[in-house]
């Protein structure tokens, strides 16, 4: 475990150092190249704005109106029958939609049930093993101007569902 936290601490600095030294050895004009590449980042960030504004307004309206809570109440009994703890259901629903809200819910569950409780470990694992599909979709496709997404959303959401199921199964076997 110590090795893992050391790796995550050292990874970025080592990567930066490596790229800079390697570039210098290959006679790349490092600073100029960095600036050229960086300029692209500004264009990219600005071009994402309308996509994110549209998506995030819709999501916050949906949430603030109480529609999301209502929907969850409906889904809850079905999922409880499947033996999944009701506490993590809202997290599973919100996870693909809003990364910040999901992170808030995970912290909430951890603080309410304790980080080392079954629910705490399950919530941590769900948070770590799924992703904000809507965000990834909006940002990645938005930035390069993809308008017709095809099956991408369906595939992404099903993949999230698979991650959620996998988290429950693994945690139940290891900690249940």
Partner 1 sequence: MVNYIWVFMTIIGLVFAAINGTMSEVNEAVFKGATEAVTLCIGLISVLVFWLGMMRIAETAGLLDKLSSLFRPFVTKLFPEVPAGHPAMGYILSNMMANMFGLGNAATPLGIKAMEELKRLNGGKDYASRSMITFLAINTSSITLIPTTVIAIRITYDSAAPTSIVGPTLMATCFSAVAAILIDRYFHYRRSRKG
Residues 146-175 that bind partner 1 (CB under 8 A): 146-156, 158-160, 162-163, 166-167, 169-171, 174-175
- Examine residue 36 and tell whether it contacts partner 1 (CB under 8 A): yes
Q: Contact with partner 1 (CB under 8 A): which of 13, 40, 74, 81?
A: 40
List the x/- string, 114-133, binding to partner 1 by CB under 8 A.
xxx---xx--xx-xxxxxxx
Nearer to partner 1, 72 or 170 (CB): 170
CA distances from 158 to 123, 152, 153 (A): 19, 10, 8
Closest CA to 137 of 151, 124, 123: 151
CA distances from 156 to 58, 74, 80, 130, 135 (A): 19, 23, 24, 10, 11
Secondary structure element (H or E) that encloses residue 83, with its range? none
Q: Contact with partner 1 (CB under 8 A): which of 22, 73, 75, 80?
A: 22
- Examine residue 13 and tell whether it contacts partner 1 (CB under 8 A): no
């Amino acid at each position: 475990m110590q090795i893992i936290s050391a790796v995550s601490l050292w990874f970025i600095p080592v990567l930066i150092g490596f790229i800079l030294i390697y570039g210098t050895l290959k006679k790349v004009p490092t600073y100029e190249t960095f600036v050229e590449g960086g300029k692209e980042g500004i264009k990219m960030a600005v071009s994402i704005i309308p996509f994110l504004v549209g998506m995030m307004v819709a999501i916050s309206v949906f949430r603030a109106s109480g529609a999301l809570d209502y929907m969850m109440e409906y889904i809850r009994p079905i999922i409880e029958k499947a033996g999944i703890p009701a506490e993590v259901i809202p997290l599973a629903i919100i996870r693909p939609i809003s990364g910040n809200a999901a992170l808030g819910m995970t912290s909430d569950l951890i603080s309410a049930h304790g980080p080392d409780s079954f629910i705490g470990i399950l919530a941590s694992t769900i948070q770590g093993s799924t992703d904000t599909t809507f965000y990834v979709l909006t940002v990645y496709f938005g930035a390069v101007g993809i308008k017709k997404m095809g099956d991408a959303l369906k595939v992404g959401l099903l993949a999230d569902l698979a991650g959620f199921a996998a988290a429950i199964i693994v945690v139940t076997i290891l900690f249940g």
